[in-house]
């Protein structure tokens, strides 16, 4: 994992971070990591795999052999 150093953080901000961390029973460092994670990777962000799975579930299952009318090893005909 990478290391991140923040400089010139106002004292009021540092104190607020300490208070927030104590209220959540976390270290100041853990609280800062959580805040950054939620800011740049929010849980409600679009996830392509989940979106594609949702689309597929909406369509339903398709039996490709019955659609083609041929065995899986036969080439597909577009006639």
pLDDT, tens only, 60-73: 666 666 666 555 56
Provide the domain count of the chain. Answer: 1
With respect to residue 39, please indicate whether it lies within any of the assigned structural domains. Answer: yes
Q: For 7-17, give one letter per residue: b (16+ CB within 10 A) or e.
A: eeeeeeeeeeb
Q: What is the pLDDT of residues 27-54, one digit of tens each?
A: 999 999 999 998 988 777 777 887 787 8
| The Cα angle at residue 46 between residues 42 and 51, in degrees rounded to 5 | 145
* Domain limits for position 53: 11-68
User: Considering the domain boundaries, does residue 38 fall inside one?
Assistant: yes
The answer to whether residue 21 sits within a structural domain is yes
In-domain check, residue 17: yes
Q: Any idea what the CATH number is for the domain that residue 43 is in?
A: 1.10.1220.10
């Amino acid at each position: 994992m990478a290391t991140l150093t923040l400089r010139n953080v106002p004292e009021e901000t540092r104190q607020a971070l300490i208070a927030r961390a104590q209220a959540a029973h976390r270290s100041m460092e853990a609280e800062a990591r959580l805040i950054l994670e939620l800011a740049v990777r929010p849980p409600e962000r679009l996830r392509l795999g989940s979106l594609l799975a949702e689309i597929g579930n909406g369509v339903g299952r398709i039996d490709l052999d019955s659609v083609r009318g041929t065995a899986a090893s036969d080439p597909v005909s577009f006639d």
